[in-house]
Amino acid sequence: MRDFRDAKLMAKTLRQALADRDISLTHSETLEIVARQFGLEQWNILSAKIDAAGAPRSAIGIEPPMPIFRIFSVEKAMEFYCDFLGFHLDWEHRFGENFPLYCQVSRDGMALHLSEHSGDASPGAKAFVRVANVRAYHAELAGKDYHYMKPGVEEAPWGLEMTVIDPFSNRIVFCEQR
């Protein structure tokens, strides 16, 4: 199965298929079409993504951060993150019976740590998350009858945003960037 790293080959194949039908496009034009098929505005953006995917990692190997959100109720947290946002509980840990919960929830490529431990994080934190289609996610959430949150989609200079606030005042901004 092809992915964005095959974009140049896909553009070449498209150009040949169109030429067989007497439709003439330049290689550059087909690269722009392929970029749009991947939901990107132009070839230069896709080209940068391809370069980044192939870029060698340093010996240090820094990876994206793992947000930790402070929670006060496991029941309310699971209702919000799993039932409403559609995340899955990956794992949970307690140091003993009747100890605070520390767990991970995830959806697609995003993971969050949730903690009842008082020293792990402060309530009211914020995470910025890039998404491919914020309107589709908004429609999914709007279809659920969650009484405590009815997020909207707002236009920002950098794209479309939907902000959700959990029962503990932590915020996640889902953004479809331009």
Both 44 and 96 in a single domain?
no
Both 44 and 115 in a single domain?
no
> Per-residue pLDDT tens for 58-70?
778 788 889 999 9
For residue 95, the model assigns a pLDDT of 93
Both 97 and 166 in a single domain?
yes
Both 125 and 46 in a single domain?
no
Is the pLDDT reported for residue 1 higher than 60? Answer: no
Cα–Cα distance measured from residue 49 to residue 141, given in angstroms and rounded to the nearest whole number: 29
> Per-residue pLDDT tens for 25-36?
888 888 888 888
- Domain housing 49: 4-54
CATH number of the domain bearing residue 127: 3.10.180.10
For residue 55, the model assigns a pLDDT of 63
**Strand locations in the chain, DSSP E?**
68-70, 88-93, 102-107, 110-115, 126-130, 153-156, 159-165, 171-177
Is the pLDDT reported for residue 103 higher than 90? Answer: yes
Backbone angle region of 127, left / alpha / beta, with phi > 0 → left and psi within -120 to 50 → alpha:
beta
Of 31, 54, 77, which closes a domain?
54
Q: How confident is the model at residue 46 (pLDDT cuts 50, 70, 90)?
A: confident
Average pLDDT over residues 70-90: 96
**Domains contained in the chain, number:** 2
For residue 2, the model assigns a pLDDT of 62
In a domain, 172, yes or no: yes
